[in-house]
Amino acid sequence: VPRASIVNGPEIFVHHGSLINLTCVVIHGTDLPVYIYWYHHNKVVEYEGRGDVTVTTHTTGNTVSTLVVENAGSRDSGKYSCKPSNGQEDAITLHVLQGEHSAPMQTNAAYHSQPTFILWQLISIILFLSIYTQWCSFYSSYEETILPKSKDPTDIYSSKQETANLYCIIHSISDSQSLNASVKFRKKDYRMR
């Protein structure tokens, strides 16, 4: 059964005179909705013959219907619902603010912030793996001690002792096609002379 969800609900605030832009995403079950109805105060929104109201509907994957009302006024406040012809509806409450109010405003920031956050996480992971891979390549190409060897016989670290060896092992796991990187440390005996 198709299920509707209005973006940025359950309450939306707009200024008097501004543009109202309501977006309804219908997630299909096994049935594609024939059409989508928009309701205002439980009455079908009449957009034919009204120049300031438009409804557009697109189906690519899920069905997305957008209700746009120009020049918001007090008559546009109230409950709006989006209902697929053969599915479950969703409803929001729209508040048209008169004058200056400090209430939250309608914004698509919440709608766009999630993809942006995911994009930044993905970029961070790719950058980390790139730096990590180069670091591992550098240290696995040759062995060297982490602390400098000392020729001073009073130094607690003998020149004959290695302080630590670092090995990076990077291998891919074919069934998940992901990169698994691990660092293994092998510490040698630290003795004072």
What confidence tens digit (pLDDT) does each residue in 76-104 have?
999 999 999 888 999 999 999 987 654 44
**Whether residue 67 sits in one domain with residue 150:** no
Task: Give the chain's radius of gyration (CA, Å).
Answer: 31
**Whether residue 93 sits in one domain with residue 45:** yes
What confidence tens digit (pLDDT) does each residue in 166-181 have?
334 433 333 333 333 3
Which residue, 86, 106, 126, sits at the end of a domain? 106
Total-model pTM? 0.52
**Whether residue 176 sits in one domain with residue 93:** no
Residue 91 falls inside a structural domain: yes
Count of residues for the chain? Answer: 193
Residue 173 falls inside a structural domain: yes
**Whether residue 77 sits in one domain with residue 12:** yes
- For the chain, where are the E strands, in sequence order? 3-6, 11-15, 20-27, 36-40, 43-44, 53-60, 62-69, 78-84, 90-97, 164-173, 178-187
Which of the four pLDDT bands, split at 50, 70 and 90, describes residue 2?
confident
Domain with 13 in it: 3-106
Which residue, 80, 106, 132, sits at the end of a domain? 106
pLDDT, averaged across the chain: 71
**Whether residue 181 sits in one domain with residue 124:** yes
Domain count, the chain: 2
Residue 156 falls inside a structural domain: yes
CATH number for the domain spanning 10: value is 2.60.40.10
Which residue, 59, 91, 106, sits at the end of a domain? 106
